[in-house]
Amino acid sequence: LNDRGQVRYLRVEFAAAVRDFTAAIECQPGFEVPYYNRGLVRYRLEFDEAMKDFRKVLELNPQFEDAALSLKQAILDKEEKQKRGY
């Protein structure tokens, strides 16, 4: 499911990718990678949901550096979007 989600993400099939990553999470809720991948998709759609996923990754694996960087970037981008009023 995680791999299929990756393929769908690369094909810009975001809704399908989110469904696959969510299904992967339901199958294995302690595996942080599908949360991270879903966060990457959600980053393109809605910052708050992406930040939830990145925080969950860091809860499961505090050493996941890409998740920490992605969380910081999502926070900065959300703030910038709010400053610009859109």
As a whole number of angstroms, the distance between CA 31 and CA 25 comes to 7
Residues present in the chain in total: 86
Tell me, what DSSP letter sits at residue 31?
-
Domain residue limits, the chain = 1-85
Is the pLDDT confidence value at 85 over 90? no
At 58, the amino acid letter reads L
Tell me, what DSSP letter sits at residue 59?
H
pTM equals 0.92
Q: What is the pLDDT of residue 16?
A: 98
Is the pLDDT confidence value at 26 over 80? yes
How far from chain centre, in Å, is Cα 41?
Answer: 6
Residue partners of 78: CB distance under 8 A and separation at least 6? 47, 48, 51
Q: What is the CATH number of domain 1-85?
A: 1.25.40.10
